[in-house]
Amino acid sequence: MTHALDSASGGKKRPNKRSTVDKKTRAGVSESIDYAVADEAEGRRALAALASAFGTRRDRIPQQSLVYYDTFDWRLYQRGFRLATRPKQGSKMLRLESPGFSLEAPIRNRSAPSFGPRLPEGPLKELVSPVVGVRRLLPLVRLDTRSRGVNILDGQEKTVARVQLLQAGVAPPASRRAPKPLSPRISVRPVRGYAEFAQKVTHYLDQELGLKPAPSSLFEEMLASVNRRPGGYSSKLDLVLDRSSSAREAARTICRHLLETIIANEDGVRRDLDSEFLHDFRVAVRRTRSALAQLKGVFDPEARRTFREEFKWLGSVTGALRDLDVYLLQMDQHRAALPAEVAKDLDPLAVYLRRHRAAELRTVKATLASRRYRRLKRNWRNYLESAPPDPDRSPYAHLPVVEVASRRIWRAYRKVTEQGAGIVDDSPAESLHMLRIECKKLRYLLEFFHSIFPAREIQPTIKSLKQLQDNLGTFNDLEVQQATLKRFAQEMSEEDLASVNCLLAMGRLQGHHDQRKQVERQRFFQCFAEFDSTRNKKRFARLFRPQGDNQS
Amino acid sequence: MKVYASYNIKGGVGKTTAAVNLAFLASQEGQRTLVWDLDPQGAASFFFRIKPKWKGGAKALIRGKRSPDSLIRSTDFERLWIYSAPTSGIAIWTWCCLSSNARMSGLPKC
């Protein structure tokens, strides 16, 4: 071994003796480091040079083909996970990579991975399934690699670092086309407990051979070559608005972003990949409607009226499918709420739900293909891109966004506190429902404009509202479920699907819902009190109260 | 959890050899496997050509200044690691951790 370890703990010596022990163990690299090489020949020359400088052994690495998976909203990527199948080599395997470790699990059935609960049992599933949630795993890209490997050995002939010359090609997952080659790279992988050796190798590649680190990771380069941007979609509304822009500019940015979200989810809805495509689609529609309703005076009145109507239509034609999705997603929970011997009586309900869902899906698909929908998208985009409206007809359009946003938020906030304070023990469920709607309006406004207010101030307001909304939302869900369950029971008996046992089980479910509703109702007073606390009041006033408004 | 023990008072009968080979087979089957080598002879480490670090470090471990994770090293095989702690100080510390639940959190997560 000709190259000494360069000391990472060098430089100033700490007076504390103990810390040097810790530092030594941390010296060296723990993640693999990639170097760019111009072509295969240069890579081979580098490997040969390593072989003459260190003790090495050839490592035969079979050609590999990996298909990477993630959910539409990049849940695995966000969590630092990479999930791939090896479709070609002998037995099919699922491979999970994460900084610091990798796991494999054999796939028993031949099918590609789809939903978390359907993954093969084992530690891999335990890690992946909760991250993926209800979303479907979709194939991202196929990576074919051919690599030459060299293991760096120590005096005992133990492998202490691994070096690979990687030549990879990328293709869309299902295509038969020849993969598109990526530039070759040399990858140095440290071996746990021997980080200092990997550092010697990288030092040699840097200093002696003058190689440059690869500009991006293989994973990133792979996605870039098929034009996919990791983390490129999120259902969260994370817009950064310019504080000094006009209200119209801000509204335009928000609505355009929402329109992009609507369009991005179309394909998943059409192909019925998972329930969240429709959900995100509908949330974007509802946010658009809310923006149109709340930002009065920013859009011109005529356009505002037509678009509100059209988006309302879009929301309502997709509503029935979502209701059925929610019921199907909660079917396991419903079963769990009943005693085991009664739970199976719910099976006809599941049959009924699936049958109706298929019909509703056809309706939604037809809607997405309809002329009315396409015209709505086109007109809306044109409207958002068109010249600013007449100041006489939209008096607030040219005001600074901060002013308009503060005023609207303040108003929505006042409404929530006023209505909430009026709720007592025996208020009708309707009043809780109305309050829920007002909360939602306030929430959307806060989310639209959060970036123009100081984050430290606005985040707590959103959090406090969220708790209240969760409570009201659960209550309302139960209320709606009771109503739909009643409707289902009626329709099922009309369709001769309802056995007496099933109807009885559904009746018990109703009772269970009743109990939970009572609990949520009791909890409401506490949730509202927290939202209506003096601290929160002050916070809202500081952020949004217009000058000259002295009401508390 | 099932526990298998290979034990005998006589030396050189294959206790360590059996344990190391079982660990290898487990890792080949896809299990993430960690071999604990707390034997002052360090024979399990020797099987994997791993030279144990004889120089102390027990003090730092006891004082919590050093993470026991640093004692885990990769073998030449996938999914197979070794916790190599043949010096008496570290071995005693590890046994103490294992026998008292209160200190378990100090041990490496494998």
Q: What is the pLDDT of residue A185?
A: 94
φ and ψ at A82, to 5 degrees? -130, 125
Q: Any chain B CB within 8 A of the CB of A30? A: no
Chain B residue with CA closest to A19: the answer is B65
How far away is chain B from the Cα of A22, in angstroms, using its nearest Cα? 6
Q: Scanning the structure block, which residue is given the tokens 């086109």? A: A378
Instruction: Using a pLDDT cut of 70, give the percent of chain B over it.
Output: 85
Per the document, the length of chain B is 110
Q: What is the pLDDT of residue A4?
A: 36
Top pLDDT among A241 and A174 is at A241
Q: What is the pLDDT of residue A103?
A: 81
- DSSP class of A169: E
Check B30 against A22: CB less than 8 A apart.
no
- With contact defined as beta carbons under 8 Å apart, do A463 and A447 qualify? no
Top pLDDT among A137 and A235 is at A137
pLDDT in tens, A177-220: 888 999 999 999 988 888 889 999 999 999 989 899 998 888 88
Determine which helix (DSSP H) or strand (DSSP E) holds B77, and give its type and residue range. Answer: none
Q: Report how many Cβ contacts below 8 Å link chain A to chain B.
A: 46
Q: Any chain A CB within 8 A of the CB of B18? A: no
- DSSP class of A346: G
Mean pLDDT of chain A, nearest integer:
86
Determine which helix (DSSP H) or strand (DSSP E) holds A365, and give its type and residue range. Answer: helix A347-369
How far away is chain B from the Cα of A195, in angstroms, using its nearest Cα? 10
Axis-axis angle for helices A455-494, A534-544 (nearest 10): 110
- With contact defined as beta carbons under 8 Å apart, do A501 and A536 qualify? no
How far away is chain A from the Cα of B57, in angstroms, using its nearest Cα? 8
Check B81 against A192: CB less than 8 A apart.
yes
CA distances (Å), origin A184, targets A34, A57, A68, A165, A339: 10, 21, 20, 7, 60
Q: What is the pLDDT of residue A267?
A: 95
Q: What is the pLDDT of residue B106?
A: 53
How far away is chain A from the Cα of B87, in angstroms, using its nearest Cα? 17
Check A156 against B66: CB less than 8 A apart.
no
Mean pLDDT of chain B, nearest integer:
81
pLDDT in tens, A308-356: 999 999 999 999 999 899 889 988 888 988 888 888 888 888 889 999 9
**pLDDT beyond 80 at A415:** yes
**pLDDT beyond 50 at A402:** yes
Q: Any chain A CB within 8 A of the CB of B110? A: no
φ and ψ at A32, to 5 degrees? -70, 150
How far away is chain A from the Cα of B30, in angstroms, using its nearest Cα? 6
pLDDT in tens, A21-77: 333 333 455 678 999 998 899 999 999 999 999 989 998 888 888 899 999 999 999
Q: What is the pLDDT of residue A333?
A: 87
Chain A residue with CA closest to B33: the answer is A103
Q: Any chain B CB within 8 A of the CB of A17? A: no
Q: What is the pLDDT of residue A16?
A: 40
Confidence class of residue A10 from pLDDT cuts 50, 70 and 90? very low
Q: Averaged over A140-162, what is the pLDDT?
A: 91
Q: Residue B89: its chain A contacts at CB < 8 A?
A: none
Instruction: Using a pLDDT cut of 70, give the percent of chain A over it.
Output: 92
Q: Residue A32: its chain B contacts at CB < 8 A?
A: none
**Span between the terminal Cα atoms of chain B, in Å:** 16
Helix %, strand %, coil % of chain A (to 5): 55, 15, 30
Confidence class of residue A439 from pLDDT cuts 50, 70 and 90? very high
Q: What is the pLDDT of residue A123?
A: 84
Among A2-6, A384-388, A466-470, A513-517, the range scoring the smallest mean pLDDT is: A2-6
- DSSP class of A168: E
SS3 assignment, position B2: coil
How far away is chain A from the Cα of B40, in angstroms, using its nearest Cα? 19
Mutate to test the interface with B, among A159, A194, A196, A197 (most CBs of B within 10 A): A159
Determine which helix (DSSP H) or strand (DSSP E) holds A385, and give its type and residue range. Answer: helix A371-385
Q: Residue A159: its chain B contacts at CB < 8 A?
A: 76
Chain B residues 22-51 with CB within 8 Å of chain A: 30, 32, 48-51
Q: What is the pLDDT of residue A45?
A: 93
Q: Averaged over A256-267, what is the pLDDT?
A: 95
Determine which helix (DSSP H) or strand (DSSP E) holds B74, and give its type and residue range. Answer: strand B72-74
Q: What is the pLDDT of residue A29?
A: 59
**pLDDT beyond 70 at A90:** no
The Cα–Cα gap between B78 and A248 comes to 59
Confidence class of residue B109 from pLDDT cuts 50, 70 and 90? low
Q: Averaged over A231-258, what is the pLDDT?
A: 87
Check B49 against A104: CB less than 8 A apart.
no
Check B66 against A106: CB less than 8 A apart.
no
**pLDDT beyond 90 at A238:** no
- Record the tokens describing residue A111, joined without a space: 């099918």
Q: What is the pLDDT of residue B108?
A: 58
Q: Scanning the structure block, which residue is given the tokens 């179309």? A: A266
Chain A residue with CA closest to B53: the answer is A193
Q: Scanning the structure block, which residue is given the tokens 């071994």? A: A1
Q: What is the pLDDT of residue A492?
A: 87
* CA neighbours closer than 13 Å in the CB half-sphere of residue B42: 15
CA distances (Å), origin A422, targets A417, A431, A432, A502, A537: 9, 9, 10, 40, 17
Chain A residue with CA closest to B59: the answer is A18
- Record the tokens describing residue A153, joined without a space: 């050995």
Give the residue from A193, A171, A182 showing the smallest Cα distance to A218. A182
Q: Averaged over A7-14, what is the pLDDT?
A: 36
pLDDT in tens, A93-135: 888 988 767 788 877 766 788 899 888 888 889 999 999 999 9
Highest mean pLDDT among A111-120, B66-75, B84-93: A111-120
**pLDDT beyond 60 at A542:** yes
Of B32, B65, B70, the CB nearest to A103: B32
pLDDT in tens, B1-43: 789 999 999 989 999 999 999 999 998 887 889 998 888 888 9
Q: What is the pLDDT of residue A15?
A: 38
Top pLDDT among A184 and B59 is at A184
Of A21, A156, A192, the CB nearest to B66: A21
Interface ipTM: 0.83
The Cα–Cα gap between A480 and A324 comes to 12
Axis-axis angle for helices A429-449, A275-294 (nearest 10): 80
Q: Residue A151: its chain B contacts at CB < 8 A?
A: 76
SS (H, E, C) A11-61: CCCCCCHHHHHHHHHHCCCCCCEEEECCCHHHHHHHHHHHHHHCEEEEEEC
Check A22 against B60: CB less than 8 A apart.
yes
SS3 assignment, position A171: strand
Q: CA-based diameter of chain A, in Å? A: 86
Of A19, A104, A157, the CB nearest to B49: A157
